[in-house]
Amino acid sequence: MADTFLDLEKPFLDKLTKLAQNNDPIDPALYQTYDVKRGLRYSDGRGVLVGLTRIGDVVGYEVDKDGKKVAVPGRLIYRGYDVEDIVRDVDSRHKFGYEECVFLLLFGQLPTESQLEEFNLLLGELRTLPPNFTEDMIMKAPSNDIMNKIARGVLASYSYDRDPENREIGNVLRQCIELISRFSTLAAYGYQAKRRYFDMKSMYIHNPIPSLSTAENFLRLTRSDKEYTRLEAETLDLALVLHAEHGGGNNSSLTVHVVSSADTDTYSAIAAAVGSLKGRRHGGANIRVMEMMDDIKANVKDWSSEKEIADYLRKIASKDAFDHTGLIYGQGHAVYTISDPRAVLLKKKAEELAKEKGCMEEFNLYSTIEKLAPVILAEKHGDKKKICTNVDFYSGFVYTMLNIPRELYTPLFAISRIAGWSAHRIEEIVAGGRIYRPAYKNVSEIRQYVPMEKRVEKVPAGVEENALNKDNSDVVTTSGPSD
């Protein structure tokens, strides 16, 4: 039906598309004229201060006694605690850390052993989707994009909630905990449905096991044999810890604040955040890294040669190779300068996994690129600002070693970040109290109204004059292949 509609209406839609394109552009100079902070950023890339938060912080520089910004090794802070300290403690206890981070982000304090045990039991019991949810909401309407499937699952959860409109903190907390627990199941089952209906491969629907961590359950639900090693689960758990929160200014967390400020329900706010993270400018950066790495591995013959690697990186930076954008993906960050702490921690674990998987040659290639890329970009652009390798550079490599398909990379981001989103929603309800309502300056001219009988159709260049009246009698509709 959709294809038939497009066949019938394409000329008309082409014409309207030209109208929209021709009538919506805004002169870039006007943004300077009116001092507009495009994307809520100053001209130097700093974010405009639009709120206060106690949940997380991203530190890339400090201000010295003279008031000057000084670059420092990056730090990621959850509720006042350095994530590096959290990871170190979890490692020393040989435990999984994501669930502990969820508790910290939601409740603002580190859990005791008994609190964490009780919280883990609650999360484990909630991982199973409601009765008939899998069949009715996932299998009957599969999607080729897992993020789309997660968003639909979130919105559908409203219908399975006994009290969906209650905005009291206790009820919102219940809703958030249920979503945090079920996101990994939604993503895994959405992936299995995609395999069956779009990839024409076998589909495996395994039940979650309440006693397992989020990382363990995800690996179990996405694999046909349900098997994984301890190191595999630890590595994925670390990735979840490092992506759980990143301050209130990132696009999806800001989306939670904006939508929640309108006093809407939890499911609408979280689904909006999923839509934000799905965007190619937000959650899909590690996929671009992997595509770039595919290209590098195909064109660099000797992965141990720094000269050959550097020569090819210069081609990429000069727009002569890969996607011709001049970008070396996985390099640089809006806040971190000397180092991205997430990349530092994940690289260490990636090396452990690479040794277990026999991938050290590839790991060394990544390490060499990490060493050379900042220097080559500085050569090319003459930029004095220090840049560092970011977490996206290593996360895709880690997921590849875990045999996680690329269509699940961004969903894994969501599985982790739902913790931060939930904390930001609760914070907005408790401390916000005012709807987000920024200003937009209208820069269109006032025009004299034209009565219907005096209007003249203006046909944009490149559109057929008779597009509205084109005869579609030759269009053949079928319900299947023509043969």
- Measured distance CA(203)–CA(194) in Å, rounded: 8
- Are 349 and 234 a contacting pair, CB within 8 Å? yes
Residue 345's closest CA among 60, 78, 82, 110? 82
Q: At what angle do helices 230-243 and 391-401 cross, to 10 degrees?
A: 150
Catalytic residue selected from 243, 333, 340, 424? 333
Which of 171, 186, 138, 183 minimizes the C-alpha distance to 266?
A: 171
Active site residue 311: no
Three-state SS for 102-117 is: HHHHHHCCCCCHHHHH
CA distance 165 to 261: 15
Instruction: State how far the Cα of 332 lies from the Cα of 357, in Å rounded to an integer.
Output: 28
Residues 413 and 144: their CA atoms lie apart, in Å, by 18
Q: Where are the alpha helices (DSSP H) in 390-461?
A: 391-401, 409-427
Main-chain phi, psi angles of 95, to 5 degrees: -120, 170
**Cα–Cα distance between 289 and 394 in angstroms, integer?**
9
Out of 57, 237, 265, 392, the active site residue is: 392
Per the listing, tokens 């968003």 go with 151
d(CA 429, CA 176): 13
d(CA 395, CA 276): 20
**Looking at the chain, how many residues does it have?**
483
3-state SS class at 138: helix
In the residue annotation, 333 being an active-site residue is answered as yes
φ and ψ at 414, to 5 degrees?
-65, -40
H or E element that contains 74 = strand 69-78
Residues classed as catalytic: 333, 392
